[in-house]
Amino acid sequence: MLEVIGFLGFYLISWWVLMQIFRLTTYHAYFWKALPLLIGYGVLVGWLMFWMRYEGGFFWMLLFLLVSFIFGAVKAKRLGTQMVSWGEAFSDNLPNITEVVAKSALNSLFYYIISAIVFFIAFSSSFLFFYNK
């Protein structure tokens, strides 16, 4: 029971830190600068999971990450649609605001998906490397 609680705590803390890194990588101006940080964090989480002997939770971690990434993408898409509708309210005063907001929301969603894939690959490959070493 304590191992399950420890694993869930590990997941929640690593997810919170990951979302702080995603605040950088989902913004197009910082994506390439923050990408090494994201990859390094993925490797660190994979190593910590191996070091803490959560080998049995590897597939659970992959499942939790996948579900969390999907919910995050759906939330980002919903917020993007909401931002576009807010932009339409100001379209009389600011021409082309709808297009700018829609492009920004789409770029953020694109960088979110790319960041999720990069972290997923970095985490899983580092864990499997240390596990099979």
Burial class (CB in 10 A: 0-12, 13-18, 19+), 101: buried
CB 123 within 8 A of CB 46: yes
Lowest mean pLDDT among 5-9, 25-29, 34-38, 115-119: 25-29
The whole-number pLDDT of residue 104 equals: 82
The whole-number pLDDT of residue 128 equals: 95
Residue extents of the structural domains in the chain = 2-131
Closest CA to 111 of 14, 26, 21, 49: 26
pLDDT at 86 over 90: no
Q: Rounded to the nearest 10 degrees, what angle do helices 2-25 and 97-131 cross at?
A: 140
Can you tell me the mean pLDDT for 43-63? 93
| pTM, rounded to two decimals | 0.86
Hey, how many other C-beta atoms are within 10 angstroms of the C-beta on 72?
Answer: 19
The whole-number pLDDT of residue 123 equals: 97
